[in-house]
Copies of this chain bind each other. A is one copy, B any other.
């Protein structure tokens, strides 16, 4: 009884956990803007993200909040005002985003743009 040849045992669980929190079409972008802008209202976030739809933004924010990465602060007034920001857990992910930015700056091709 032997394990597969040439394939070492590796624990992917911690890595997979991190990935599971940030996949989803807009999550990384949301985290990015909250990182750069600190606190944003719902409508500001929507404008910043560009072509995200209402449905997507609200659902992604809800998941990020449920995962403890984003803080939702609601001001009881009319019209409503809601501000989003990073939690401590969310902030602790910023080194990851920072690495992504660093890599991007060194590798983004001239003239590249999101299709």
In the complex, the chain B residue whose C-beta lies closest to that of A97 is B15
Select from chain B the residue with minimum beta-carbon distance to A19.
B28
In this assembly, does A42 line the interface, its C-beta being within 8 Å of a C-beta of chain B?
Answer: no
Number of copies: 2
**Chain B binder among A29-37, A52-60, A71-79:** A29-37
Interfacial chain B residues near A97, Cβ < 8 Å: 15
Which 3 A-B pairs have CB atoms at the shortest separation, nearest pair first?
Answer: A14-B104, A18-B104, A17-B108
- A residues contacting B by CB (< 8 A) are 4, 6-8, 10, 12-20, 23, 25, 28-29, 32-33, 36-37, 39-40, 44, 47-48, 89, 92-93, 95-97, 99-109, 112-114
